[in-house]
Structure 1
């Protein structure tokens, strides 16, 4: 990296700071995934930190929690993203989202992503909340009349 070493270091530092903010006091599997990727493709984890977190996730205009909601929706729509969902669900919680908001975000994906992807994502939500020992998500009020 000739001529841009300082800028590249700044991007990486911004990205690493955002990741640390999202991880909170519970390091996520992202760190291990990046370590394993670096064994095969050393530039891939660096590019993810610089671009996804240093350039995009750190932009002004949306706070970290809202960015995590958008990311969660995209990951659900893509499907086959369980590892990434774990990181972004955890990051969303660490950024201030509630367990109820995560459940609603996943439910919001249902008409657009379909039942299989929504069900798979909800199972990931369940596991993340269970691993964190977060309180259970309260059931939404029913619209049906109670039995008499």
Structure 2
């Protein structure tokens, strides 16, 4: 493991416990390099930069994924990750609502639908603990 990978591995697991392991397992049989590059670049390089804290970066990511409109699995994961980092449901909902202005109502409606499911999943996990 190089330093970038180790930093990224730790950062991804901060967002989602065992997230790095899950990512590696998901692509082990088809393209393990995709998981490696994802761990190294966004999590090992970009998320390590000064200027924005991790919670803010996750809120920005939620906005971008909502605006893209075709990334529901990734949006779901980042919403749960933001909740794991201490973002509130209200903060996340406001970011998604904001996207109705810039990305349109369909993108915001789809994003809010993903958020509703992610919030329920997160609450169920919290109650089970």
Cα RMSD over matched residues? 1.8
Unaligned runs of 5+ in 2: 125-129
Unaligned runs of 5+ in 1: 1-7, 135-148
TM-score by length of 1: 0.77
Aligned residues: 124
2-structure distance, mates of 1:114, 1:33: 31
Per the TM alignment, residue 32 of structure 1 is displaced from its structure 2 partner at its CA by 3.9
Q: Decide which structure has greater helix share.
A: 2
Asked if 2 retains the 8 angstrom alpha-carbon contact of 1:38 and 1:44, the reply is no
Q: Which residue of 58, 65, 75 maps to 2:48? A: 58
Aligned position for 2:13: 20
Q: Which residue of 66, 70, 81 maps to 2:60? A: 70
1-structure distance, mates of 2:100, 2:84: 24
Asked if 1 retains the 8 angstrom alpha-carbon contact of 2:83 and 2:122, the reply is no
Matched, 1:10 2:21: no
Per the TM alignment, residue 38 of structure 1 is displaced from its structure 2 partner at its CA by 2.6
TM-score by length of 2: 0.88
